[in-house]
Amino acid sequence: MSTATHVPRVHAPRNYLNADYGWKSWLFTLDHKRIALLYLVSITFFFVVGGFFAMLMRIQLIEPSGAIVQPETYNKLFTLHGIIMVFFFLIPSIPAVLGNFLVPLMIGARDLAFPKLNLLSWYIYILGGMFTLYSALAGGVDTGWTFYTPYSSLYSNTQVTAVAIGVFITGFSSILTGLNFIVTIHKMRAPGLTWFRLPLFIWAMYATSVIMVLGTPVLAITLFLLALEHLLHVGIFSPSLGGDPLLFQHLFWFYSHPAVYIMILPAMGVVSEIIACFSRKRIFGYKIVCFSTIAIAVLGFFVWGHHMFVTGQSIYEGLIFSLLSFLVAIPSAIKVFNWTATLYKGSISYDAPMLYALGFIGLFTMGGLTGLFLASLATDVHLNGTYFVVAHFHYIMVGGAVMGYLGGLHFWWPKITGRKYPNGWAMIAAAVIFIGFNLTFFPQFVLGYLGMPRRYAFYPAEFQVLNVMSSAGATVMGVGYLIPLIYLIWSMRYGPPAEENPWGATGLEWKTASPPPTDNFKEIPIVTEEAYAYAPEEASGD
């Protein structure tokens, strides 16, 4: 740990943080960087709330007949954990925090295309969050985050409408962010910055935004119809009036499957940036990675029925979805190969961002491979509705997306705050999180394979050892998440000031001050070199 330096504000050069003071300058800001920080605070809050629900669940599951919560309450816990983590943490996380901050900087622009829409996005997100928190406090929701009908629409007497409204509203935050990014990346790149000179993080943001824009509206209409059914007791999705519950599921998963690519593509973009920087090498097969990114975004829309293999949908439909689900694994695998090839003969350093990126590659690969078990019709019959599925998606969402998010935060923290954090503690935290994560979720693969169903408050006694391991792991992981919370906040006041480019990375964001001035660059840069132009003698071939 280096000596803490407290830099008095009055001597710091003019940047976006000290450009203006007072709550109005934050709540009415149009600066994309300040909006990114507004998001950072809000999503951290929701992460804690969602994590709190998870903690209660894991405590309940220590005993086969746990007495911590009633089964009805347990249903509400896993529902709200899912809703908050998916809609209020994972989906906004990297795009709204890192994307908002970095997209204009990385493309050499002074702001996003529509700064007012950007601020509106955040307010919409907060409004949606308030509806959801209200529903949690006013009795909760017990339908599962998937809201399957007719239970959610006709039978559940929990706050379904309130939470449907909350998620509906927040969807627009997503849509506006995606719209902003697509238009900005098309229209506001610096001179000389052609598409194939863009950082892979920008490609990832672009692909993610396409998914946000095409998928989220379908969730919106689905929730609208669900609320209509719940309020008026009519039968759009219920057999009692000739409705089909599977119609709800088709419409719901049309969005919610691509949603998982909204959660993972940004993390993949972050990983590309970090791997390149900490191997001092160009990303191997840059163009292929670009096309793979777009392929994942597009193919991701063709596979939603793999969530419905055992629901009674047409077998032929299931066949199509199974085949396409196998196909969508290919571009992801290509990326893993390309990152690995980048590492080969690279000059590798193991700073905290790199630890997260390496962790991502391993854990995402495991999560992705287990997805193939689920994509296969026959094995899915056995594994669907068990802890195998839970483990699979947590490997990708937590082992993948959250690691990517933390890695990105650590990589760009000096740029965002102008301060460095203690690398030793950061490396310890990364290790603790990695160990805690695997201890939590690996046993769940075994549990699922052995047949333990998901969303159950009780389980047969023979599963206890694995459940206790999982709960222990969750505690370790929770501690692991607390450590960065502490030192990152500490660094904002006591961390040593960061120079323009502390990691020696390529990219336009590193060619301006840390933290950047409000309008990003003294002069808009002109781009003449390829992305990842790391020193040629350290790179051995492509």
Cβ-based nearer residue to other proteins, 119 or 275: 119
Distinct helix (H) and strand (E) counts, the chain: 17, 0
Q: Is 88 in the site for other proteins (CB under 8 A)?
A: no
Task: Return the residue of 7, 56, 62, 179 that touches other proteins, per CB under 8 A.
Answer: 179
Q: Name the residue among 453, 417, 391 with its Cα closest to residue 74.
A: 453
Cβ-based nearer residue to other proteins, 221 or 330: 221
Cβ-based nearer residue to other proteins, 236 or 289: 236
- Binding string to other proteins for residues 127 to 166, with x set by CB under 8 A, is what? ----------------------------------------
Task: Return the residue of 40, 90, 164, 218 that touches other proteins, per CB under 8 A.
Answer: 218
CB-CB contact of 185 with 103 (8 Å):
yes
258-317 residues near other proteins, rule: CB under 8 A: 301-302, 305, 313-317
CB-CB contact of 200 with 273 (8 Å):
yes
Instruction: Provide the minimum distance between the beta carbon of 194 and other proteins in the complex, in angstroms, as a whole number.
Output: 15
Q: Is 4 in the site for other proteins (CB under 8 A)?
A: no
Left, alpha or beta for 138 (phi > 0: left; psi -120 to 50: alpha)?
alpha
Cβ-based nearer residue to other proteins, 223 or 430: 223
Cβ-based nearer residue to other proteins, 124 or 218: 218
Cβ-based nearer residue to other proteins, 210 or 355: 210
Instruction: Provide the minimum distance between the beta carbon of 234 and other proteins in the complex, in angstroms, as a whole number.
Output: 5
Cβ-based nearer residue to other proteins, 176 or 363: 176
CB-CB contact of 88 with 43 (8 Å):
yes
Task: Return the residue of 221, 479, 482, 526 that touches other proteins, per CB under 8 A.
Answer: 221
491-530 residues near other proteins, rule: CB under 8 A: 519
Q: Is 182 in the site for other proteins (CB under 8 A)?
A: yes
C-alpha 127/C-alpha 72 separation (Å) is 27
Instruction: Provide the minimum distance between the beta carbon of 224 and other proteins in the complex, in angstroms, as a whole number.
Output: 8
241-260 residues near other proteins, rule: CB under 8 A: 241-244, 246-247, 250-251, 254
CB-CB contact of 481 with 51 (8 Å):
yes
CB-CB contact of 26 with 109 (8 Å):
no
Phi, psi of 105 (to 5 degrees): -65, -45
CB-CB contact of 355 with 430 (8 Å):
yes
Q: Is 435 in the site for other proteins (CB under 8 A)?
A: no
Cβ-based nearer residue to other proteins, 110 or 454: 110
Amino acid present at 91: I
C-alpha 282/C-alpha 288 separation (Å) is 13
Cβ-based nearer residue to other proteins, 20 or 462: 20
C-alpha 475/C-alpha 61 separation (Å) is 13
- Binding string to other proteins for residues 96 to 115, with x set by CB under 8 A, is what? --------x----xxxxxxx
Q: Is 63 in the site for other proteins (CB under 8 A)?
A: no
Instruction: Provide the minimum distance between the beta carbon of 111 and other proteins in the complex, in angstroms, as a whole number.
Output: 4
Measured torsion, CA atoms of residues 357, 362, 363, 364, in degrees rounded to the nearest 10: 80
CB-CB contact of 312 with 246 (8 Å):
yes
- Taking the CB of residue 344, how many other CB atoms lie within 10 A of it? 12
Cβ-based nearer residue to other proteins, 9 or 24: 24
Cβ-based nearer residue to other proteins, 109 or 271: 109
CB-CB contact of 527 with 108 (8 Å):
yes
Using only the alpha carbons of the chain, give its radius of gyration: 23
Cβ-based nearer residue to other proteins, 91 or 466: 91
Q: Is 183 in the site for other proteins (CB under 8 A)?
A: yes
> How many residues are present in the chain?
542
Q: Is 168 in the site for other proteins (CB under 8 A)?
A: no
Mention every residue, 6+ apart, whose C-beta is less than 8 A from residue 137: none
Cβ-based nearer residue to other proteins, 250 or 410: 250
Instruction: Provide the minimum distance between the beta carbon of 530 and other proteins in the complex, in angstroms, as a whole number.
Output: 24
Number of chain residues interacting with other proteins (CB under 8 A): 60
Task: Return the residue of 57, 154, 220, 343 that touches other proteins, per CB under 8 A.
Answer: 220
Q: Name the residue among 409, 281, 416 with its Cα closest to residue 357.
A: 409
Amino acid present at 472: A
C-alpha 216/C-alpha 222 separation (Å) is 10
C-alpha 329/C-alpha 304 separation (Å) is 14
Q: Is 213 in the site for other proteins (CB under 8 A)?
A: yes
- Binding string to other proteins for residues 22 to 51, with x set by CB under 8 A, is what? --xx--xxx---------------------
Instruction: Determine the interface stretch with other proteins among 35-43, 176-184, 261-269, 433-441 (rule: CB under 8 A).
Output: 176-184
Find residue 386's DSSP bridge partners. 453
Task: Return the residue of 17, 90, 169, 175 that touches other proteins, per CB under 8 A.
Answer: 175
Mention every residue, 6+ apart, whose C-beta is less than 8 A from residue 466: 443, 444, 446, 447
Peptide bond into 516 cis (omega under 30): no
Measured torsion, CA atoms of residues 154, 158, 164, 167, in degrees rounded to the nearest 10: -150
List the structure tokens of 305: 């029925």
C-alpha 123/C-alpha 464 separation (Å) is 44
Residues engaged in binding other proteins (CB under 8 A): 20, 24-25, 28-30, 104, 109-116, 119, 175, 179, 182-183, 186-188, 213-218, 220-222, 224-225, 228, 231-236, 241-244, 246-247, 250-251, 254, 301-302, 305, 313-317, 320, 519
